[in-house]
Amino acid sequence: MSELAVETHLARRAPARWIEPDPRALAADIPPNVLVHLSELAARRGISSEPWFAGLGITRQQINDPSVRVSYRQARTVIARSLKVLRDPALGLLVGRNETIGSFGLLGLAMMTSRNFGEAMATGIENHKVCGSLLDVDFAVVDARTVAAQAWPRFGEIELLPFLCEELFSSSLALARELVGPKLIPARMELTYPAPAYADEYSKTFQCDVRFGAQYNRILIDAQWMDFPLPGYNPLTSRQALALCHQQLRGTNSSDEIVGSVERLLRSRLREHPRLTEVARTLHLSERSLRRRLADSGRIFREIHDRVRAERALELLHAGQMSVAEIGIELGFSDPREFRRAFKRWTGMPPQLARRSFP
């Protein structure tokens, strides 16, 4: 087979398969909250969700058990099947808009009883995995007047990114408005993927400027909201609810925690091309200790760095707003040729071909 034929064959593969699978996607450590919401929506429409769980080792009834956890692979399979059956293009917005503080369980209680909105936002972001989030979430200071909640896809997810962002950001806004009132309107929304056919639904939901094809997935708000006092403030209840959230989070494999910490740090500093020594110093570890802890989880620093860069490159290529050279700079490459070579090493194809293969 010629090189061109090989590249054409690779381009037909799903984007998520361009990068070697991450074994963490098979770990059953995610609360099935989103799957419950989707199943309940199907039931209200008279549709059985049982077939969505076929062959996955879990059933519709089992996800109602609060102790049950699912893997990322299981969750994304159920979501992909639900999208095909329910045929609602704005499904993520619909699910998220209908969530309430009660949908967030203990985390909702911890946020509701926080001192102010800034404290509640920090609590929600720090403990977002308690509610079964399929995206990684962090906090960013955009400028002197604006802050943001940012979302990062896991395991190079592109196909389901619109649904995941819709559900996360619309439910977060619904929760925020329960905390401080309907006057909270985002400064703007930014999303890395192209505008869908139903983009008007975003404007109706978020009531702000929505920018597609951006560099980040994030919802931006005026920093003045951070000091807004919450009427439900109760320090004792807040501490008790937080303690229970932390107890649930401790069920996560500690060796995976260090991998996640390294990934988050690398994502925030990709332009700087951080080295192992710098990452270890930032995490208050010696280089030797960091190497050992990564080895305990079966990982090495270079592999993690390459994966984070490959996933970010694919996300920006899919957005379609930046040139290949600009994406290379975003990932810490000063020479576009070096970026092209690295990208082909990571994915098996040049970035231009990867961009053309996106739907």
Give the pairing type, strands 146-153 and 209-212: unpaired
How many Å apart are CA 290 and CA 276, to the nearest integer? 8
Cβ-proximal residues to 31 (8 Å cutoff; 6+ apart), any chain: 66, 68, 69, 130, 131, 132
Cα 78 to Cα 85: distance, rounded to the nearest angstrom: 11
Model confidence pLDDT, tens digit, residues 177-192? 999 999 999 999 999 9
Amino acid found at 66: P
**163 or 251, higher pLDDT:** 163
What's phi and psi for 93, nearest 5 deg?
A: -65, -40
DSSP-assigned letter for residue 12:
T
Determine the Cα–Cα distance for residues 89 and 7; give it in Å rounded to an integer: 31
Q: Which residue has the higher pLDDT, 184 or 345?
A: 184
Q: Measured in Å, how far apart are the chain's first and last C-alpha atoms?
A: 25
Strands (E), 205-344: 209-212, 217-222
Least confident range from 86-100, 145-159, 310-324: namely 310-324
Who wins on pLDDT, 10 or 225? 225
The pLDDT score that the predictor gives to residue 7 is 43
Confidence of residue 6 (pLDDT cuts 50, 70, 90): very low
Name residue, tokens 């549709």. 47
Query: What does the pLDDT read at residue 265?
Result: 87
Long-range interactions of 338-344: CB distance < 8 A, separation 24+ = 339/313, 342/306, 342/309, 343/310, 343/313
